[in-house]
Amino acid sequence: MSEKNTTTDQNWLEGTPVTMYSETPCTPSRRRLLHLLGASGLAGLAGCSQTPEQGTETGTDAGTEARTAGQKSATIAIPSSVTRDGAGTHGVIPYWTRIIEPLAWPDSEMNVTPWLAKSWEQTGEKKWVFTLRDGVEFHNGDKLDADAVLFSLRKMLTDQPWTKGWLRMTPGGVKKVEELTVEITNSKPMPRLPGALAHIWHSIQHPESPPGWGGTIGTGPYKLEELRQDQYAIVSSFDNYWGGTPNPRKLTFRTIKDQNTRDLALESGEVDIAFDISPSQRNELDDSDKLRAEVQPLTSSVRLLFNNTEPPTDDIKLRKALNFAVSQEAVIDGALSGIGEPARGSIPSILWWSAHDSLPEYGPDKAKAKDLVDRSDYDGETVHLVSSSSPHRVNGPTNPKFTAQIVQQAAADIGVNVEIRMMEQAAFSKAEETGEGGHMFQGHSYTIAAKPGDFINDFVGEGTTSPGPQEFDKEVKERLNAILDEGISASTNEAAKRAFSEAERILVVEEVIMVPLYYKHYIVGQDDGIEGAVYHPTMRHSRFENMTITE
């Protein structure tokens, strides 16, 4: 492209002096000045088209190439950046791009499967031995070994000390046993360590990976070629990938934060796959000959959290009444175009440790709700519902204002006056933390792994604080602490699930600290000629290395 433009420029330069200097004497008039300004303006604008790779690779061309050149490349529109600010361990956080990989992997059902570790064994209450997969190569040609695992985990635990609590691990707890064997000693029992290590955050990188971004040496199916923060990342296939040669050869991840623009980019063919498109677009995609929609559950839920420290929501009867008043189905149909699952708790049903099946459905039962309001101390005060209006949070509420209005209407039906306050995310976080100015907070939870932070308040957190205007009696708090600790330390998943379910039951049924609204789903729109993309409940763990693209 640049070659072509250079030729044009040369022709233009060659032609101009003849007309300017040989035919007309050089007497600058205002008109000539204006002509010159106009011409230079146009030339300047045309010059813009010669900007480097960013225009040619991330604009329309990459998407077009995918269709014209068969399986060479694909362009994927994502709602967030591929980079993550302040990433101390990995130069580029491996969300989306599959540059680096962890020891274990959460499959599409959220079960833990071997990945860079081919097996693991719990050898003691706090001891684990991980055996690495043989023959795995880094992008620089070196073999994966125990040293790389030591380097990566120790670096993460040192650079990001908060992960020590998450993994119950210290840098000194990671030891090399043999070339392909690593022993991990937890600081406290951690029966679900492989599940925690399946988070892509704990990926393995080469010890010679340069600090900072852009040069990360991983084992993943793709290598980073080019990165521009908040704009795009281009990756190329790693031919010696242990899982087989990846296809397509090149992937371009384009950050398109605006959902409408993402929808339109997919519709125009500018991108081949678009994540998190508008629920309202689903039918249009289903009717299309060239595109199709895939609906996937997310590991996120949206709920209304009560401030139980201030009137009128310090009254449990009122909190219960609001639970009976709100119809989750109405929220999903009205605000989400039917895309989502009615929630009974906070932990989405897709996760093995969800208490969904054991939690009751409140209703809607307007008569019961009204009766509860009558029996409560509620005296017509205004209940302030605070919601984040931030459009860029995939895990946040979808259509938050409309959702809030549906709740407001449901409350009005039982005689409770709700006022909605929309705030941008930073102000919302602050309000949620302090409880200032709000009785109900439309929030969300992150639930990739079973850890206490996923519950309301961090009862058993190791040195962490969790914001929230929720207070519990000392006895309830101690009981929750003990139950959650038991769940984390339980040796079987069944025992852990029992404990976590009990904790959630206390929060939802006994303390009524929330109105669960829905478990989130997301929609991926894609070219109908694409097969083999594996969409994941965490969205960013989706895999693209076995795709086929047909015309």
| Cα–Cα distance, 188 to 489 (Å, whole number) | 8
Neighbours of 547 (CB within 10 A): 21
Least separation in angstroms between residue 453's CB and another protein is: 5
Of 331 and 385, which CB lies nearer to another protein in the complex structure?
385
The C-alpha angle 397, 399, 403, rounded to 5 degrees, equals 80
Residue 375 vs 392, nearer CB to another protein: 392
150's tokens: 């030591």
Instruction: By CB under 8 A, name the binding residues for another protein.
Output: 41, 44-46, 48-49, 51-52, 54-56, 58-60, 83-88, 91-92, 160, 162, 201, 212-214, 226-231, 254-258, 260-261, 264-265, 267-270, 390, 423-427, 429-431, 433, 446, 453, 458, 461, 463-467
Whether the Cβ atoms of residue 70 and residue 549 lie closer than 8 Å to each other: yes
Report how far apart, in Å, the C-alpha atoms of 231 and of each of 60, 149, 256 are: 14, 31, 8
Closest CA to 527 of 268, 350, 261, 341: 268
- DSSP-derived 3-state class of residue 163: helix
- Residue 163 CB, nearest distance to another protein (Å)? 9
In the complex with another protein, the residue whose CB is nearer, 34 or 367, is: 34
Q: Are 357 and 420 in contact (CB under 8 A)?
A: no
Taking a C-beta distance cutoff of 8 angstroms, is the pair 519, 359 a contact?
Answer: no
Tell me how far apart the alpha carbons of residues 523 and 530 are, in angstroms, rounded to a whole number: 16
Q: Which is nearer to another protein, 77 or 332 (CB)?
A: 77
- Minimal distance, residue 437 CB to another protein, in Å: 9
From the list 414, 301, 292, 394, the residue with the least C-alpha distance to 355 is 301
Give the alpha-carbon dihedral of 66, 69, 71, 77, to 10 degrees. -10
- Write a three-state SS string for 242-261: CCCCCECCEEEEEECCCHHH
Q: Which of residues 256 and 351 has its CB atom nearest to another protein in the complex?
A: 256
User: What is the smallest separation between the CB atom of 37 and another protein, expressed in angstroms?
Assistant: 10
User: Closest approach of Cβ 478 to another protein, in Å?
Assistant: 20
- Which amino acid, 45? L
Burial profile 113-143: b = 16 or more Cβ within 10 angstroms, e = fewer: ebbbbeebebeeebebbbbbbeebebbeebe
Angle formed at CA 548 by CA 542 and CA 549, multiple of 5 degrees: 105
Give CA–CA dist 380/265, Å, rounded: 48
| Least distance in angstroms from the C-beta of 156 to another protein | 11
Minimum distance between the CB of residue 520 and another protein, rounded to whole angstroms?
17
* Residue whose pair of structure tokens reads 């204006």 in the numeric block: 34
Nearer to another protein, 299 or 328 (CB): 299
Least separation, in Å, of the C-beta of 382 and another protein? Answer: 20
The answer to whether the beta carbons of residues 24 and 232 sit under 8 Å apart is no
60/337 with CB nearer another protein: 60
Q: Rounded to an integer, what distance in angstroms lies between the CA atom of residue 385 and that of residue 395?
A: 19
Choose between 41 and 532: whose C-beta lies nearer to another protein. 41
- Closest distance to another protein from the beta carbon of 79 (Å): 11
CB of residue 471 to another protein, shortest distance in Å: 17
Cα–chain center distance at 117: 25
91-94 long-range CB contacts below 8 Å, 24 or more apart?
A: 91/209, 91/210, 91/211, 91/212, 91/213, 91/214, 91/215, 91/216, 92/213, 92/214, 92/216, 92/224, 92/227, 92/233, 93/201, 94/200, 94/203, 94/216, 94/218, 94/220
Q: How far is the CB of 24 from another protein (least distance, A)?
A: 21
Cα-based torsion angle of the residue sequence 254, 545, 111, 164 in order, rounded to the nearest 10 degrees: -60
Nearest approach, Cβ of residue 96 and another protein (Å): 14
CB of 312 to another protein, least distance (A): 23
List, as one string, the DSSP characters of 377-389. Answer: S--SPEEEEEEE-
